Amino acid sequence: MVELEGLMTSKHVLKVVDLEVKFFTYAGVVHAVSGVSFEVFEGEVISLVGETGCGKTVTTRAITRLVDPPGRVTGGRALYRTKSGEIIDLLKMPDEDLRRIRGDEIAYVFQDPTSALDPLYTIGGHIVETVKAHRRAPAKEILKHAVKLLAETLIPSPELRVKNYPHELSGGMRQRAVISIGLSNNPKLLIADEPTTNLDVTVQAQILDLLRELRSKYLMSLVLITHNLGIVAEMSDRIYVMYAGKIVEEGATEEIFYSPSHPYTSLLLRAVPNPVRKIEKLETIPGTVPSLVNPGPGCRFEPRCPYAMEKCAREEPPLVEVSRGHRAACWLLEKR
């Protein structure tokens, strides 16, 4: 696919261009994701940051067409380079080929492990079927591999736990189990949705260390969805800030933390304990996320933006470059 190869460099693992996801509900058409583009390079960790409802989860699921009706991917491309070097558009692949990608090349760690795990199957059972879906191997071998995986994610007594059912594990162990399942086929890209929320801080640190190790050992790329800026600061190479279904700012972690260029990003950084810069007083961002049923023509953050101008309500700002690799979508930048 010559034209696709033109867009991807040899270092690209994933390149998403102008992704659009709409939900066709009784209340109207919800524009959940409108023209989102991002890229992931080999062995890097990127974070997708934003408040609840901004579309981060839908975006990552849309890439492998995991969006169920009434939602539908209505536009864009998701270019991916497989382990064997082939470049494909995930959104245009036939279903069976896509199935082979899921769980093997691109793996997910879902946000709520309790609902993600099937209560009637053991942890070992989950891992065995995940592996068997992609390669032939005897169950016994897979179970041994499973025990090793569980041990790697610091689950105590993994030989016993592998035979346990989900309800026999604590919340934290379930979260680690889901991470193990995600890693079972050595994916090239791991998409982790809030992977450490239920874990206490020490375990959290260990899991993050583990993910970093895996990244270098297997050259695995990681897409981290989170609103915990501490983890973002520690783990990510680059950040994408999302608001109301659009990317409002993107760039290297340090850049974003030291010079946020979008009002939303700076407010976000001031609203949580900032690990990079010490702030005296936490501020809130007044208002709530807007309804995405019939978004107006202007900037979606305008209603809550303290710097809103008359132009902002009329026209949507494009992403402009602030510095190398750092872009933001705000009319304030035009002035500069």
Partner 1 sequence: MGLARFVARRIATFIPTIVGVLFVTYIIAYSIPGDPTRAWVGEKLLNPEALERVREKYKFNAPWYEQFAFFVSQLLSGNLEDPIRNRNVFDEIFERFPITVEVAIVGFTFLVAIGIPLGILAAIKKDTAVDFFVRIFALVGSSLPAFVLYYYLILILFVYASTTQLAGIPMPSTSCKSAIASLPQSYPYIGDFLSAIGSVPMFGALMCGELEVVGETFRRLYLPGLALGLLNGGFIARIVRNSLLDALSSEYILYAKARGLSKLRIWGHAFKNALIPVVTVLGINFGGLLSGAVIAERVFNIPGMGRLMYEAITRANFPIIIASTFLFAIIYVTVNLVVDILYAVIDPRIRY
Q: Per rule CB under 8 A, is residue 115 in the interface with partner 1? A: yes
Q: Per rule CB under 8 A, is residue 134 in the interface with partner 1? A: yes
Q: Per rule CB under 8 A, is residue 198 in the interface with partner 1? A: no
Q: How far is it, in rounded angstroms, from Cα 320 to Cα 270? A: 23
**Binding test (CB under 8 A) with partner 1, winner from 5, 118, 159, 254:** 118
Q: Interface residues for partner 1 in 203-262 (CB under 8 A)?
A: none
Q: Per rule CB under 8 A, is residue 181 in the interface with partner 1? A: yes
181 vs 312, beta carbon nearer partner 1: 181
**Binding test (CB under 8 A) with partner 1, winner from 6, 85, 94, 119:** 119
Q: Interface residues for partner 1 in 277-336 (CB under 8 A)?
A: none
Q: Per rule CB under 8 A, is residue 110 in the interface with partner 1? A: yes
Coil, helix or strand at residue 133:
coil
Q: Is-contact 236 253, C-beta < 8 A?
A: yes
Residue 80: CA count within 13 A, CB half-sphere: 22
Q: Per rule CB under 8 A, is residue 201 in the interface with partner 1? A: no
**Binding test (CB under 8 A) with partner 1, winner from 7, 8, 29, 66:** 66
Q: What angle do CA 118, 123, 127 make, to 5 degrees?
A: 100
Q: Per rule CB under 8 A, is residue 120 in the interface with partner 1? A: yes
Query: Site for partner 1 (CB under 8 A): how many residues?
Result: 28
303-318 burial, b for 16+ CB within 10 Å, e for fewer? bbbeebeeebeeebbe
**Binding test (CB under 8 A) with partner 1, winner from 35, 165, 233, 285:** 165
- To the nearest whole angstrom, how small is the minimum distance from the Cβ of residue 111 to partner 1? 9
Beta bridge mates, 192: 109, 224
Q: Per rule CB under 8 A, is residue 104 in the interface with partner 1? A: yes
Q: Is-contact 235 48, C-beta < 8 A?
A: no
Q: How far is it, in rounded angstroms, from Cα 328 to Cα 253? A: 14
Q: The tokens of 154 are what?
A: 């610091």
Q: Is-contact 21 244, C-beta < 8 A?
A: no
Contacts with partner 1, residue ranges (CB under 8 A) = 61, 64, 66, 68, 99-104, 107-108, 110, 112, 115-121, 129-130, 133-134, 165, 167, 181
